[in-house]
Amino acid sequence: MGYAARRGGRTPWNASTNDSPPSGGIFDLAGAKARLQELEPHLNDPTLWNDPQRAKTVTQEATRLRKLVDGFARLEDDVTGLGELWEMAEEDDQAELEAEQQRVETHLDALYRETLFKGEHTDRPAIVTIKPGAGGTESSDWAGMLLRMYQRFAERHGFAVELLDAVGNDAAPNGVDYAQLIVRGERAFGLLQVEGGVHRLVRVSPFDAQNRRHTSFASVEVLPEIDDSIEIAVDPKDVRVDVYRSSGPGGQSVNTTDSAVRVVYRAGTPDEIVVTCQDGKSQIKNREKAMTVLRSRLWEREEQRRREEQLKARGDQKAIEWGSQIRSYVLDKQYVKDHRTGAMRHDPGQVLDGDIEDLIWAGLEWRASDAVTAETGA
């Protein structure tokens, strides 16, 4: 059972009193039904598949919403029937009915999780970029630990991981001064989007001869992969492409040819957007991947501008939380704490080995609740 059910994040219900499962707020059943009705004309339009990408987007959204609506209807029937059985049950039937209620609660938890995925890009691959903060060797080692954590998380879920770029640090054998990877799998971006922000490590440093306690920071950025199917205007005049010799892993043919690509974008921002890719020995493929990352960064820049405008329109003075510290990993005291959700773990070794699913679900619940609060002004 997920974080929401264990922590009581969603509204509880009691089958013995014949209550209905909760809806409203995050669980917006009426909104899902209304959106399905809006999509019906598009689904019935014979010209829909003239644009395969648009057809795929529409049908995927409709399938997800129909799954929610139909699942909720089945759940209501199960709860109603279970409530009636509780009313008629004898004392000897209690154990069997409790087992049935547990089954229904599991179904409710799974349905609740479906409601936490918001946005049109949740099914896309996730581009994860990790950068160490100030601190040299310590921070680079911490960034390498985060890279491994997300790689292990992906492995645990059967996701594919493509390491686009990694710059090592000679003083920290397992550390990185920069790393970027693409995680591909079911709802990869939908899950990993809440990992974006600053991650803080506190530990007795293995690099300190005096065994002193050190604090290190690293930033994690998570973007959806925006490919050619989504129109992002990139004027070739605003782009400079450099090629150079790869310094990453990959064998002699990689490191002895000018296969690595650096794309520099200048238009529309005081700061350059720089994307590098040295994943393989093909300069053409590295350029294509770098342009995909650039499109994703341009999409995110536009999304951030839109969020800022919404905050101004509401008169909300709080800063956008991108880049803020989201989680602390305190190894010498054996705990991990998420500062947004309050979720705590006392097995940091397991967390750093990729066991972060409950932290992610807690983050998704927090994100959805925060969105509802912003919409209602509560």
Second-level CATH architecture of 121-378: 2-Layer Sandwich (3.30)
CA distances 371 to 277, 307, 376, Å, are 34, 12, 9
Residue 79, Cα to own-chain centre: how many angstroms? 32
Using an 8 Å Cβ cutoff, are 179 and 129 in contact?
Answer: yes
8-state DSSP, 27: B
Helix (H) and strand (E) counts for the chain? 10, 11
Cα-only R_g, the chain: 24
Give the pair of three-digit tokens for residue 49: 């598949």
pTM, full prediction: 0.73
374: its two tokens = 């912003």
User: Could you tell me which of 160, 149, 176, 129 has the C-alpha nearest to residue 293?
Assistant: 129
User: What ranges do the domains of the chain cover?
Assistant: 3-115, 121-378
Distance, CA of 14 to CA of 6 (rounded, Å): 16
Strands 325-330 and 197-204 come out as parallel
pLDDT in single tens digits along all 378 residues of the chain? 334 333 444 444 444 444 544 444 456 778 788 888 999 999 999 898 888 877 877 887 888 788 888 888 887 787 777 777 777 766 666 667 777 778 778 777 777 888 788 777 888 899 999 999 977 899 999 999 999 999 999 999 999 999 999 999 888 889 999 999 999 998 899 999 999 999 999 999 998 888 899 999 999 999 999 876 667 778 888 889 898 877 654 444 444 567 899 999 987 666 789 999 987 678 888 988 998 899 898 888 888 887 777 555 544 443 333 346 899 999 999 999 999 999 999 999 999 999 999 999 999 999 888 765 555 555
Strand-pairing partners, residue 181, are 128, 163
What is the CATH code for 3-115? 1.20.58.410
